[in-house]
Chain A
């Protein structure tokens, strides 16, 4: 019996309420705006943390039941990703007040994963023999931090793009100038780049131990290397040329979309994400 499912549903409810609170914040009211704004931000943060806690219980239940961590099938990869994205997003949301309104963009993106995990078969999995390796933890951990900072950067990039339209301008009018948001978004992408590099290194060490080669151009390796090149090229282009802010925002979102397909699209065009996984 999948005892973890009720906890997962509760966690997704908490994430949904956090998203609702973020949007409720932009509904125009005549008075008490500042007080409601502060309370809503605390609600968003609190609900995100409740969701993260419930996901910890979900993962723990599943781990105890199956005897291994969430590393194998898409269902458990999505749960663990929802956890890591939630925990890092909440941490940055707390520490960097400036980016909080970008939750209007980032939380719906998070919800794409939330809806997906609710729609797929919650199948059990078996840990392949090559997954009994400590470098797997480092590889997966660095990858999760990379995607989390990509999500935060994409949230800010989304603000840059959306507030061109009058409809959305009022949503983000409390945020600073485009230039400051652009600088902040790229700073998160710089952090993402460092963790992506670490993910590739840890993955290569794991692959050497697991399959007797450190690189074999399998589906995930090829896709993640292309993603690293894209982010590296975007960072170089921004530093060396006057990349317009909105083009920069499009580049950030392109990196995030590429990363999203690397993580979650690979199972659709490759039977085994990593070559020799079984």
Chain B
């Protein structure tokens, strides 16, 4: 039994685990869908077991405070990453101006089986955005305006961006490069029933040449829309995308006839009347949740501090600085040794 325990804590097994982890890491490059997660999980489990036993039985580790802290920190990182995968959540959502966050509208949701976050705590309203572009259509900073509900339920203005996430109850919500225009429409059916909503056009300016979408109103026929946008786009100069200052003409193909609508104009179609209320915008957000993040950071920093403590003790015992003697032929260690 003890023999097995010793074998499980040997450096030989550490090196084997590292080699397997290296293979798993190489196979995981770029997250190919064909690579199973076990190529990483199995070596990590092996290394965690090896590390745990080595910490317990190996005096070279457990009698040196620095090395002990480093290895405990590493073990904690491995365990926390595993817990993080089981409790995390990633998702996307698209919100038009003045729309409130709605957890039912999340898509591309990926969450661990132990995820227990409270999405209902996320209460904010999208209020438009601007994006800086440099020459060559290089995207700069995104300034996305929201109204965030505080503890008293009052809405407070806040600006978030790609690298300035909204932090709510452990959830981190980032803007993305995926955003665009959304013509706001009202459909009044012949029987008087009214429906209002927005049509999200493809991402802008990435797909500026293909601003088209389709919608079927209740009781009506499918309508194909094209949007001609004047947003000040410049390929060779700096510009700012500000959807609330952009002008958009809605083009509709009605029985083979091209009809252009400006905001405020209407078009009578089979089954009802379509009103083009105004040009609005939508922003694509990425949502991320992992309750282990702060603990991961602390564990990793503790590991490094342990490593530095070990170095400090080791280097103090065996000084690095070596003074060459006058003729350069023999060298004296500051610790008194002679080479």
Taking a contact as CB atoms under 8 Å apart, the answer to whether A213 and B288 are in contact is: yes
Question: Any chain B CB within 8 A of the CB of A98?
Answer: yes
The answer to whether B30 and A218 have CB atoms under 8 Å apart is yes
Report B246 CB to chain A, min CB distance, Å: 20
Q: Give the residues in chain A near B29, CB-CB below 8 Å.
A: 217, 219, 222
Taking CB atoms, residues of chain B closer than 8 Å to A193 are 307
Q: Provide the residues of chain A in CB contact with B18, threshold 8 Å.
A: 229, 232-233, 236
State whether B138 touches A126 (Cβ < 8 A). Answer: yes
For B295-339 the 0/1 string (1 means CB < 8 A from A) is 011001101100110010001001011111011110100000001
Asked if A129 contacts B142 (CB within 8 A), the reply is yes
Cβ of B156 under 8 Å from chain A: no
Q: Which residues of B contact A98 (CB under 8 A)?
A: 322, 324, 331
Least CB distance from B112 to A in Å reads 14
A-facing residues in B168-204 (Cβ within 8 Å): 172, 174, 177
Q: Are B141 and A129 in contact (CB under 8 A)?
A: yes
Interface status of A166 (Cβ within 8 A of chain B): no
B42 at the interface (CB under 8 A from A): no
Majority SS of interface residues in chain B?
mixed
User: Is residue A201 contacting chain B, with contact meaning CB distance below 8 A?
Assistant: yes
Question: Which segment, of A11-19, A202-210, A246-254, faces chain B?
Answer: A202-210
Whether B224 sits at the interface, judged by CB under 8 Å, is no
* B288 and A236 contacting across the interface, CB-CB below 8 Å: no
User: How many residues of chain A get a CB closer than 8 Å to chain B's CBs?
Assistant: 54
A208-262 CB contacts (< 8 Å) to partner B: 208-214, 216-219, 222, 225-226, 229-230, 232-233, 236-237, 239-241
Question: 8 Å CB contacts to B: which residues of A159-186?
Answer: 174, 176-177, 180, 183-184
Known: A174-B329, A210-B163, A236-B11. A194 touches B307 (CB 8 A): yes
B115 in the interface (beta carbon within 8 A): no
Across the interface, do B22 and A212 meet the contact criterion of CB distance under 8 Å? no
Give the docked Cα–Cα distance between A213 and B321 (Å). Answer: 42
Which A-chain residue is minimally distant from B132 (CB atoms)?
Answer: A129
A44–B286 CA distance with the chains assembled, in angstroms: 53
Distance of A169 Cα from B163 Cα, bound (Å): 55
Does B134 touch A at the CB level, under 8 Å? Answer: yes
Find out whether the CB atom of A197 lies under 8 angstroms from the CB atom of B307.
yes
Q: A187–B315 Cα gap in the complex (Å)?
A: 9
Is B31 a contact partner of A216 (Cβ separation < 8 A)? yes
Contact A174 B328 (CB under 8 A): yes
Contact with B323, one of A97, A128, A130 (Cβ below 8 angstroms): A97
Q: A-facing mask of B148-171, CB < 8 A → 1, else 0?
A: 000000000000011111000000
- CB of A191 within 8 A of CB of B311, answer yes
B14 adjacent to chain A (CB < 8 Å): yes
In the assembled complex, B21 has its CB within 8 A of some CB on chain A:
yes
- Neighbouring A residues of B132 by C-beta, 8 Å: 129
Nearest Cβ on chain A to B17's Cβ, whole angstroms: 10
Q: Which residues of A contact B307 (CB under 8 A)?
A: 193-194, 197
Per a CB cutoff under 8 Å, which of A132, A187, A222, A275 touches B141? A132
Contacts of A132 in B (CB 8 A): 141, 163
Do A212 and B172 touch (CB < 8 A)? yes
Cα–Cα distance between A241 and B141 once the two chains are bound (Å): 52
Question: In the assembled complex, which residues on chain A have CB atoms less than 8 Å from the CB atom of B296?
Answer: 214
Query: In the complex, which residue of chain A has the Cβ closest to the Cβ of B40?
Result: A217
B232 part of interface (Cβ distance < 8 Å)? no
B19 within 8 A of A: yes
A177–B322 Cα distance when bound, in Å, is 13
Task: Quote the shortest CB–CB distance from B73 to chain A (angstroms).
Answer: 10
In the assembled complex, which residues on chain A have CB atoms less than 8 Å from the CB atom of B28? 217, 222
Partner of A34, one of B15, B142, B328, B339: B328
B25 at the interface (CB under 8 A from A): yes
Query: A222–B300 contact, CB under 8 A?
Result: no
CB distance from A68 to the nearest CB of B (A): 11
Whole-angstrom CA separation of A204 from B165 in the bound complex:
15
State whether the Cβ of A91 lies closer than 8 Å to any Cβ in chain B. no
Known: A201-B297, A201-B300. A230 touches B22 (CB 8 A): yes
Binding site for B on A (CB under 8 A): 34, 37, 95-98, 126-130, 132-133, 174, 176-177, 180, 183-184, 187, 190-191, 193-194, 197-198, 201, 204-205, 208-214, 216-219, 222, 225-226, 229-230, 232-233, 236-237, 239-241, 275, 278
The 8 closest A-B pairs by CB, nearest first: A240-B11, A176-B339, A98-B322, A126-B138, A222-B29, A212-B174, A174-B328, A233-B18
Q: State the B residues within 8 Å of A (CB).
A: 11-12, 14-15, 18-19, 21-22, 25-26, 28-31, 60, 90, 132, 134-136, 138-142, 161-165, 172, 174, 177, 286, 288, 293, 296-297, 300-301, 303-304, 307-308, 311, 315, 318, 320-324, 326-329, 331, 339
18 A-B interface contacts by CB (under 8 A): A34-B326, A126-B138, A128-B138, A128-B139, A132-B163, A174-B324, A176-B322, A187-B315, A194-B304, A194-B311, A201-B304, A209-B163, A212-B90, A217-B29, A219-B30, A229-B25, A236-B18, A278-B177
Task: Name 20 extra pairs, CB < 8 A, besides A97-B324, A229-B18, A239-B11.
Answer: A96-B320, A98-B322, A129-B132, A132-B163, A174-B328, A180-B331, A180-B339, A194-B307, A197-B307, A201-B304, A204-B300, A209-B165, A212-B286, A217-B25, A217-B28, A219-B29, A232-B18, A236-B18, A237-B11, A278-B138
